[in-house]
Structure 1
Amino acid sequence: MELCVALDLPSAEENLALARSLKSYNVWMKVGFRAYIRDGKPFIEALKAINPDFKIFLDLKLYDIPNTMADAAEEITRLGVDMFNIHASAGAVAMKTVMERLSTYDKRPLVLAVTALTSFDEANFQSVYEKSIDEKAEQFAKMSYENGLDGVVCSAYESRAIKKATSEEFLTLCPGIRPFGEDAGDQQRVATLDLAKQEGVDFPVVGRPIYKDSDPKKKVEEILKEIVTF
């Protein structure tokens, strides 16, 4: 299990200050839509300058026609990030096209597919996908596995079933982690670190419980200590 810290603060300066406070830890840093659109490649370079051992997860959830997704995947690879994601809803052809394009690189990032956003509750998910979250997440995971992706983004509640349906080595990255039962905020399917452990989560993503804490560094230390005890 490897901690992924979500850099979702309102400005690059605040996100970089958080990263600097955590520079002694070899954790993953999640760069999402707002941060990347606002701050771009220089922000990723600034994170690497703080700690070259930071692993970068670029969370852009690509979703377009297959060739456009593959073009974007190549540009992401050239950024030097360590992981990025696409939407599983883009389908098998898009997955295959992305992975075939990246196969030409000596070193490529991990590629994950988003199954069901953790902001969905069951009713709203079914209104879009006409299947339950559990059923569709497993279907998307199998499709991702069969087309060569490294893992999926899902809630902790789906992690164990997804690994059983694919492989124990198939990665699960899970947002909405509230390490010690903190407030759920706008997330619907949140989980504690203890539940994430039970469900075999590889990457717990923690944002607000860290950056809204009065002492983010201490909070990360507490989380890492909990992870080590696993």
Structure 2
Amino acid sequence: MMTKPIIALDFKNMTEVTDFLAPFDEALFVKVGMELYLQNGPALIKEIRAMEHEIFLDLKLHDIPNTVKQAMYGLGGLDIQMTNVHAAGGCTMMTAALDGLRAAGSEAALIAVTQLTSTSEEQMQREQLIQVSMNDSILHYAETAQQAGLDGIVCSAHESRIITDKLGTSFLKVTPGIRTAEDAVGDQVRVATPEYARQNGSTHIVVGRAITQDADPVAKYQIIKKAWGTEC
């Protein structure tokens, strides 16, 4: 189920996106997050899809069930391949999100964010008052997401194996925080290399600054794709 690496387009506008994508001579899988989408809107999605790139729309919806359902219905009208909600919103909210997405006719994969890769276990326990381990918290969120009918979760590569062992290989494990051994960690905490993610059962990896801020993004993408083990 492994796919090509997902590149996080951490840019402000379509001009920056176009400048970044222009040197690539292949269709990519890209992530559009809040910074880019909220400043540019749905038109940006259409422009990127016109370039034949697949899109993971990463907005992490988290609100009362009806609000999320209606918001997801609106997003379902976009030509996207993956989107997400926060698992902390609960089973009813996640089910409502899926209902809204499918009611709009979208077949996009819907996944749930568990714990951000910028969050440490100590921070989770101190600030969220979740006193179980990081692994137990993420596994619980994953089980709830699967119960709600979602396709998978966002987690770090360090939790992918336990999710696979408990919930099966077909349940998506989308793992941000991917770096090569030489890259700076930045504001991430639970980071991993592409090789580690592959060996630990991740189905998708998300790579941002390690590619977008490299002096040669195309070459760096090829290095990460090879390390990830797919020639898609």
TM-score normalised by L of structure 1: 0.93
Q: Contact 2:73 / 2:103 at 8 angstroms: preserved in 1? A: no
Q: Which residue of 2 aligns with 1:29?
A: 30
- 1:164-198, Cα deviation, whole Å (9 max, x unpaired): 11111000111100034411000000000110011
1:126 alignment partner in structure 2: 125
Give the deviation of 1:106 after TM superposition: 4.5
Taking structure 1 as reference, are residues 39 and 106 closer, same or farther at Cα in structure 2, changes over 3 Å only? closer
Q: Give the direction of change, closer, same or farther, for the CA distance of 1:74–1:105 in structure 2 (3 Å limit).
A: closer
Which residue pairs with 1:44 in the alignment? 45
Aligned to 2:170: 169
Determine if contact 1:5/1:206 at 8 Å carries over to the other structure: yes
What is the CA-CA distance between 1:105 and the residue it aligns to? Answer: 4.9
Q: 3-state DSSP class of the match of 1:161?
A: helix
- 2:6 corresponds to which residue? 4
RMSD of equivalent CA atoms: 1.6
* 1:227 Cα offset (Å): 2.8
Query: Structure 2 CA distance, aligned partners of 1:171 and 1:71?
Result: 24
CA separation in 2, counterparts of 1:152 and 1:115?
7
Aligned AA (2:107): R
The corresponding residue for 1:87 is 86
CA 1:39–1:183 in structure 2 vs 1: closer, same or farther (change >3 Å)?
same
- What is the CA–CA distance in structure 2 between the aligned matches of 1:114 and 1:122, rounded to whole Å? 16
Report the counterpart of residue 57 of structure 1 in structure 2.
56
Indicate the SS of the match to 2:67. helix
Partner of 1:19: 21
Any conservation in 1 of the 2:118–2:187 contact (CA below 8 Å)? yes
Partner of 2:183: 182
| CA displacement, residues 45-67 of structure 1 (integer Å, 9 cap, x when unaligned) | 11112x22x11001000000001
Q: Distance in 2 between matches of 1:133 and 1:186?
A: 18
User: What one-letter code is carried by the residue in structure 2 that aligns with 1:122?
Assistant: E
Q: Aligned runs of 1:183-202 on 2, under 5 Å?
A: 183-202=184-203
Instruction: Please report the TM-score for the alignment, with normalisation by the length of structure 2.
Output: 0.92
Asked if 1:75 corresponds to 2:77, the answer is no
User: What SS does structure 2 have at the residue aligned with 1:120?
Assistant: coil
Unaligned runs of 5+ in 2: none
Separation in 1, partners of 2:100, 2:33: 23
Residue deviations 1:74-118, cap 9 Å, x none?
Answer: 111101111100000000111122223334454421000000000
Structure 1: runs of 5 or more not aligned: none
Q: Give the Cα separation in 2 of the matches to 1:91 and 1:229.
A: 34
Query: Residue 77 and residue 158 in structure 1: after superposition, are their counterparts in 2 closer, same or farther (change >3 A)?
Result: same
Q: Is the 8 A contact 1:57 1:83 kept in 2?
A: yes
Change (3 A) 1:135 1:45: same
Partner of 1:140: 141
**1:229 & 1:81 partners in 2: Cα distance?**
22
Inter-partner Cα distance in structure 2 for 1:204 and 1:109: 17
What is the alpha-carbon distance in structure 1 between the residues aligned to residue 200 and residue 35 of structure 2? 30
CA displacement at 1:26 relative to structure 2:
2.8
- Alpha-carbon distance in structure 1 between the residues aligned to 2:223 and 2:96: 41
Task: Tell me the CA shift for residue 30 of structure 1.
Answer: 0.3
Pick which of 34-43 and 13-22 moved more.
13-22
In 2, are the aligned partners of 1:61 and 1:85 still within 8 Å (CA)? Answer: yes
Give the C-alpha shift of residue 225 in structure 1.
2.3
Percent identity at matched positions?
37
CA contact under 8 A between 1:121 and 1:189: conserved in structure 2? yes
